[in-house]
Amino acid sequence: MLNLIKKNKGKLLLASLIILLPVLAGVLLWNKLPDPMPTHFNASNEADGWSSKPFAVFGLPCIVLALHWLCVLGASFDKYNAEQHHKIFSLVYWICPAVSLFCGGLMYSFALGYTWNVTRIMLPLMGVLFIFIGNYLPKVKPNHTLGIKLPWTFKSEDNWVATHRFGGKIWVIGGMLFLLCTFLDAKWIPWAFIVLLTVMVGVPTLYSYIYDKKHGNQA
């Protein structure tokens, strides 16, 4: 489905340039950056992983760019996405640029001695992202690259539609709960994170399975 790429080539180019903006920032700040640089942070807001300065500045954005192109190409070459709602592809195009800017900004801030409460920033951002995804899930048409891909959703279009409508509600609620988790005591946040993600993935999966058991033989 190269037509999808040609149709959105301007958006794809812009998204790719945004992903690489941290490289420009790294080059401008090069003499001020330490080597190695902090590139991973734990729930206690402490750096617990480091990478060489060249890899942090050039390698990480390039990895995100490669992942971005992989997602876009995967979605574009899926013939079932030819009639997909355009807003669904907007999520595909802009998630990686947002991740690159956020992670790059966080990495450079810590490298230069400015500390942020990583958890308190990530939770609301993830909450907003999940709310957006939840709103768009019911609009996702059957395909092999986007949405809730389960044996039972592939088996029946009715199951696909019902599961995505139900899953969308669960993800919106989950996103709202992620926003509320920002106010939890720090020691409870990792547990809340694990529980919410488990529910958001597990409940729609269970729903799809039960739906198949009830309606599978009617197809």
pLDDT at position 83 is 67
Using a pLDDT cut of 90, give the percent of the chain over it: 45
The 10s digit of each residue's pLDDT in 34-60 is 999 988 877 666 777 889 999 999 999
Q: Per-residue pLDDT for 219 more than 60?
A: no
Q: DSSP string covering 120-155, please? A: HHHHHHHHHHHHHHHHHGGGPPS-SSSS---HHHHH
Model confidence at 4, pLDDT cuts 50, 70, 90, reads: low
pLDDT at position 16 is 93
* Residues 76 and 4 sit within 8 Å (Cβ to Cβ): yes
* Prediction pTM value: 0.78
Model confidence at 122, pLDDT cuts 50, 70, 90, reads: confident
57 residue type, one letter: V
Q: Per-residue pLDDT for 194 more than 80?
A: yes
Q: Per-residue pLDDT for 86 more than 70?
A: no
Give the C-alpha separation, 78 to 80, whole Å. Answer: 5
Length of the chain: 219
Q: Which residue has the tokens 């920033």?
A: 121
Q: Per-residue pLDDT for 111 more than 70?
A: yes
Model confidence at 212, pLDDT cuts 50, 70, 90, reads: very high
Q: How far is CA 77 from CA 91, 160, 204, in A?
A: 17, 20, 27
The 10s digit of each residue's pLDDT in 15-38 is 999 999 999 999 999 999 999 998
